[in-house]
A and B are shown apart, each in its own frame.
Chain A
Amino acid sequence: MHSLWLIPIFPLVGFLINGMLGRRFSKTVINTVAVGSVVLSFLWVLKALSALAPLNETYVEHYFTWISSGTLDIGFDFAIDRLTMVMLLVVTGIGSLIHVYATGYMAHEGGYYRFFAYLNLFMFFMLTLVLAANYVLLFVGWEGVGLCSYLLIGFYFLKKSASDAGKKAFIVNRIGDFGFSLAMFLIVISFGTLDFQKVFAKASTISPEVQYGSITTICLLLLVGAIGKSAQIPLYVWLPDAMEGPTPVSALIHAATMVTAGVYMIARSATLFERAPIAMDVVAYIGLATAVMAATIGLVQNDIKKVYAYSTVSQLGYMFLGCGVGAFSAGIWHVVTHAFFKALLFLGAGSVIHACAGEQDMQKMGGLMKKIPITFAVLFIAAMAIAGVPPLSGHYSKDAILMAAHARAPWMYWVGVVTAGMTAFYVFRSIFLTFFGEYRGKAHPHESPAVMWVPLAVLAVLSLIGGYAFNIPEFLSPVLPMHGGVHDESLATIATAAGLAGILLAAICYLFVPSIPGALASAFAPIYQTLYDKYYVDELYNVSIVKPIANGSREILWKGADVGVFDALVNGAGTTSMALGGLLRKMQSGNLRTYASWVLIGILLVMGGFAVYGGAK
């Protein structure tokens, strides 16, 4: 036994200590507990891995039988294979860095202990998710990280937008979770187990013509779950709003770890997806569409965190594309490199915001290069990495995905290349707007303390060498064999050129001829406005789903029911559910004789039911 359970338990203990006693602790104690617990689990991961190396086979630890009902047995099991190992290192490693950073970033915030308690709880659930040896335990982590994400997004709960964003994240994710739970039930029906190894073993033996239909359904439902968690079309709307949370949260949860859980889950279920070609195609299309759409929105945003948020959505789209074209390990590679450079981008952005006294609008920044040079340096590296400039980390993983996409269908590659160009453009746009030119704000920018920039420096190193140093697909080849996608120099060069072209274009627009963006925006005002307003998707959802249902039911009820119903509706307001609820609660009119009538009606209905089905005998 290697006591894998200790890995998630450390942060849980941290959560319990800080959550229960944190109010009485000094900040030093809280920091020690919070950071220490995550670092401990990082160290324990290293220890377990060195003991388990080379980890060619899955290593399972069975703790106890969690549930046994009929033929179904679900164990409280943790398993570790190379895929898990990669994720564990990313989660605990990046997690430790971000915890350290947060001690500096949150130093002056209220609810300090609460913040770190939630953050530790998040780590516990995220590690449970990654270590789980079956779908149910994975679901435990899945729900848990969602809950923590929601608590942390709404951390500044005095801001209405923050608590609204928290609720939005929770509600949108419920849709995904619903798909996931349905998928689990279908897996039980089809395979009689939820254990990863058993499910995949059975899936690989059953004959194609019998079971492919149900596997496709299962995969599509799993995909619904993944779409919610990893913010893909059409459920991506919560992620940009989630930036209302503190910046370390955006970096840890909404860039590096939780949002990649969907990708991890798909890669984990690769055996199933490979037997469901239709589902694979859907994954690829959704990923590609999300990548393009989010990148176009990112082109014109002015809030620095919003730019990176849409960039995250777009990069997650890349990862989905990778999985969808069969290059699961390339997708995971991108998860890893993205964790480096996107965490860096967010933390750097946090440092910028910190320096500008809370300002997030890039139009009120500028010229920060000299004032916060370290932040500038690391952000510049991160931007190079995401733009795919060789030999930085992003270059390798993005190339791997694009090669695989080309093998699947050349047009996917070309769309991906264009998106890569846009990515380079918007990320350098943010760099140029923030650090070059003249300072346009009113605050007095200052460099962040060492606790904040040291983690940045570490991440910067990882972003620099992470792609070259860690050849994830090769490492993962025993778990996730790489299909297709022969490395083609000319294709790779084109992709790199697209990135460089994006950078160049951004430099022209925002450094040399600053009049171009304004001219373009006014020349293509409708397009610009559409992009700026994010394709009006939020409005579209409001107009097409929320309002018609509310209006429709109001109309019907206005005509069909008494004014009391209408009043209740207006007061309760909102959605169909509310309207339906308003209608249903009217059953409970408070009047005794009405109740008696309901009982009588019920009696007649029940007797009628028995009679109808009795007659059908």
Chain B
Amino acid sequence: MPANFMPSAAEYFRFAPEIILTIVGTLVMILEAMTGDRDKSSLGYVSLLGLAAAMAAAVAANNDPGLAFQSMIIVDGFATFFRVLVLGVGMLTILVSTNYLSEAKANSGDFYALILFSVVGQSLMACANELIMIFIGIEISSIASYILAGYLRDDRRNNESALKYFLMGSFATAFLLYGVAWIYGLTGSTNLGEIRTVLSHGTAPTAMVGISAALMLVGLAFKVSAAPFQVWAPDVYQGSSAPISAFMSAGPKAAAFAVMVRVFYTSFDSISNQWEPVFWIMSLATMVIGNFAALQQRNIKRMLAYSSIAHAGYVMVAVTSHSAVGTAAVMFYLASYCLMNIGAFAVVTWMARDGEKFVEVDDFSGLAQKQPFVTAILTVLILSLVGVPLTGGFFGKFLVFKAAIDSHLMWLAILGLLNSAVAAYYYLRVLVVMYFREPGASTVNLPPVAGTLRVAMLVTTLGTIALGIFPGLILGFATQSSTLGK
């Protein structure tokens, strides 16, 4: 090998967020062993600092965009956007978790380390420019989240959730890998750009390329919980601890969408006539299943799980539009979705209390009278999930459907709008019970809102409102970064 095998400093700089997170994660595990029986909240703050440092590194890396490590890593606006997003999700998750873990007497450095490692995987997914890196990123993220899903070992719901997530996840990823192997076989490369070049010649057998792309889509669709690969999501989100559900419904999903957009817009651009119709159907099916199945849910975690499936459907609509506007819509929607979903799960975390006894929608009865602060928070978040103007959720939907219409996907846009009208009904029930019911047993002895949790609630809520009033905050950056593979 020639001398230039050693990566340059600039390349390490571009990879700095992942490096920082890995070091901090390892450090937290060592500290965990050293601190013994003492309170572990401080480890949470160490992890927060690590994430903040990684976020700073990610932003700094964007000043010098480019490739790294033999084009395995790419730092561009798109990658930076998703890196910052998943890092932010990690920070919010830690804020939501700390108090919950203390109450469950399960506060430990392992938890924070796992969050950090999972975020490493997602961050890697965001900036991977090559199929091996994508696979490694997915696996790092997933393996850590399998453990997180079953983190409370003595809770049967956690056990089952982890088992289902793990088995279904590795099953679907195996297919993704099979597709990756075929693509490698067909094109002789794992680099997204080179694959694109080879495929655009049209020499590779179309059917085989199509099947490989389909298999890759399976794995990614599973991670974003797009139909018909959404079956695991409600069980897993319901069974895991609420803070973990918040994390899993946001970070891995956003990262998987980043990969999906990058792979399909870059590498499989030339076979878009094959995947666009499939995406069309998948996005519609995802919206329908998510929204309609949510109508009958009584458990709020399960309802939010179905709603997160529906939201994945909206994002799929934007992906289907296969345009720069669509990419920007994906980015904006995911950012606002992560905020509002984590916020909603933060409220659920607070309400559920130790052992998650209060997770029914009806348990929120009369909350407006007992806890106006949390009620106001949840109201804003729910209105945003519905897509009411002046919230981030509204602009997310607006951009998604605008992207669809720009790409002449008229019917998809109309059906999507109809779906979002249906969604109002199940979200509405939460508002109804909070405002129009008398308080019941569940609102007796409400716990105080812990400081960290309060921060998470405020950040998500204010962020949601900010995105609704000043969407330009991130839309400008998203639009600049939205030309992939062009």
Residues of A within 8 A of B (CB): 19-20, 23, 64-70, 72, 76, 114, 136, 139-140, 143-144, 147, 151, 154, 157-158, 163, 166-167, 170-171, 174-175, 177-178, 181-182, 185, 188-189, 568, 572, 577-578, 580-582, 584-585, 587-588, 590, 592, 594-596, 598-599, 601-603, 605-607, 609-611, 613-617
Residue of B nearest to A21 (CB): B372
Query: Smallest Cβ distance from A15 to chain B, in angstroms?
Result: 11
Residue of B nearest to A607 (CB): B214
* A602: contacting residue among B228, B368, B418, B438, CB under 8 A: B228
Residues of chain A within 8 A of B388, CB atoms compared: 143-144, 147
Q: Is the CB of B435 within 8 A of A167?
A: no
Residues of chain A within 8 A of B210, CB atoms compared: 607, 610-611, 613-614
Q: Is the CB of A614 within 8 A of B296?
A: no
Q: Is the CB of A185 within 8 A of B293?
A: no
B278 at the interface (CB under 8 A from A): yes
Q: Provided the pairs A140-B390, A174-B424 are in contact, do residues A67 and B472 lie with their beta carbons within 8 angstroms?
A: yes
Interface string of B200-243 (1 = CB under 8 A from A): 00000011011101110110011000011111101100000000
Q: Is the CB of B413 within 8 A of A611?
A: no
Residue of B nearest to A598 (CB): B231
Q: Is the CB of B228 within 8 A of A605?
A: yes
* B207: contacting residue among A72, A140, A611, CB under 8 A: A611
Once the chains are docked, how many angstroms separate the CA of A185 from the CA of B401?
Answer: 8
Q: Is the CB of B278 within 8 A of A609?
A: yes
Residues of chain A within 8 A of B271, CB atoms compared: 614
Residue of A nearest to B226 (CB): A602
Once the chains are docked, how many angstroms separate the CA of A178 from the CA of B231?
Answer: 29
Residues of chain A within 8 A of B389, CB atoms compared: 136, 139-140, 143-144
Residues of chain B within 8 A of A603, CB atoms compared: 175, 214-215, 218
Q: Provided the pairs A590-B235, A596-B171 are in contact, do residues A609 and B418 lie with their beta carbons within 8 angstroms?
A: no
Q: Is the CB of B296 within 8 A of A613?
A: no
* A157: contacting residue among B325, B405, B435, CB under 8 A: B435
Q: Is the CB of B293 within 8 A of A596?
A: no
Q: Is the CB of A617 within 8 A of B435?
A: no
Q: Is the CB of B229 within 8 A of A617?
A: no
Once the chains are docked, how many angstroms separate the CA of A38 from the CA of B308?
Answer: 40
Query: Smallest Cβ distance from B215 to chain A, in angstroms?
Result: 7
Residue of A nearest to B479 (CB): A69
Q: Is the CB of A598 within 8 A of B273?
A: no
Q: How large is the interface on B (under 10, 10 to 19, 20 to 34, 35 or more residues)?
A: 35 or more
Q: Is the CB of B206 within 8 A of A614?
A: yes
Residues of chain B within 8 A of A64, CB atoms compared: 470, 472
Q: Provided the pairs A64-B470, A167-B432, A609-B214 are in contact, do residues A581 and B296 lie with their beta carbons within 8 angstroms?
A: yes
What is the interface of chain B mostly: helix, strand, loop, or mixed?
Answer: helix
Residue of A nearest to B208 (CB): A614
Residues of chain B within 8 A of A140, CB atoms compared: 389-390
Once the chains are docked, how many angstroms separate the CA of A154 from the CA of B228?
Answer: 39
Of the listed residues B214, B395, B421, B470, the one surrounded by the most CB atoms of chain A closer than 10 A to its CB is: B214
Some 17 contacts from A to B, beta carbons below 8 A apart, are: A66-B472, A67-B475, A70-B406, A76-B469, A136-B398, A157-B436, A166-B432, A185-B401, A578-B295, A580-B288, A587-B228, A587-B230, A587-B231, A592-B163, A596-B171, A606-B282, A610-B211
Query: Smallest Cβ distance from A88 to chain B, in angstroms?
Result: 21
Residue of A nearest to B172 (CB): A599
B274 at the interface (CB under 8 A from A): yes
Once the chains are docked, how many angstroms separate the CA of A485 from the CA of B411?
Answer: 43
Q: Is the CB of A599 within 8 A of B211?
A: no
Query: Smallest Cβ distance from B213 to chain A, in angstroms?
Result: 6
Q: Is the CB of A581 within 8 A of B211?
A: no
Of the listed residues B231, B292, B421, the one surrounded by the most CB atoms of chain A closer than 10 A to its CB is: B231
Residues of chain B within 8 A of A175, CB atoms compared: 421
Once the chains are docked, how many angstroms separate the CA of A340 from the CA of B221?
Answer: 58
**Apart from A144-B388, A592-B168, what 20 extra A-B contacts exist at CB < 8 Å?**
A23-B372, A70-B406, A143-B388, A147-B388, A163-B432, A166-B432, A178-B417, A181-B417, A572-B295, A584-B288, A585-B297, A587-B230, A590-B235, A592-B163, A595-B168, A606-B282, A607-B214, A609-B277, A613-B278, A614-B274
Once the chains are docked, how many angstroms separate the CA of A614 from the CA of B470?
Answer: 42
Residues of chain A within 8 A of B462, CB atoms compared: none
B414 at the interface (CB under 8 A from A): yes
Once the chains are docked, how many angstroms separate the CA of A598 from the CA of B231?
Answer: 7
Q: Is the CB of B475 within 8 A of A577?
A: no
Q: Provided the pairs A69-B479, A588-B235 are in contact, do residues A20 and B372 lie with their beta carbons within 8 angstroms?
A: yes
Residues of chain B within 8 A of A615, CB atoms compared: 207
Once the chains are docked, how many angstroms separate the CA of A182 from the CA of B277?
Answer: 23
Once the chains are docked, how many angstroms separate the CA of A102 from the CA of B388?
Answer: 28
Interface string of B267-294 (1 = CB under 8 A from A): 0000101111110011000001100111
Residues of chain B within 8 A of A67, CB atoms compared: 395, 398, 471-472, 475
B68 at the interface (CB under 8 A from A): no
Interface string of B467-483 (1 = CB under 8 A from A): 00111100110010000
Residues of chain B within 8 A of A178, CB atoms compared: 417-418, 421
Q: Is the CB of A189 within 8 A of B288?
A: no
Which 5 A-B pairs give the minimum distances between C-beta atoms?
A: A157-B436, A610-B210, A140-B389, A609-B278, A581-B295
Residues of chain A within 8 A of B75, CB atoms compared: none
Residues of chain A within 8 A of B475, CB atoms compared: 67-69
Query: Smallest Cβ distance from B265 to chain A, in angstroms?
Result: 16
B328 at the interface (CB under 8 A from A): yes
Q: Is the CB of B436 within 8 A of A617?
A: no
* B231: contacting residue among A20, A68, A599, CB under 8 A: A599
Q: Is the CB of A596 within 8 A of B168?
A: yes
Q: Is the CB of A584 within 8 A of B435?
A: no
Once the chains are docked, how many angstroms separate the CA of A598 from the CA of B277?
Answer: 20
Residues of chain B within 8 A of A76, CB atoms compared: 469
Q: Is the CB of B436 within 8 A of A154?
A: yes
Query: Smallest Cβ distance from B156 to chain A, in angstroms?
Result: 13
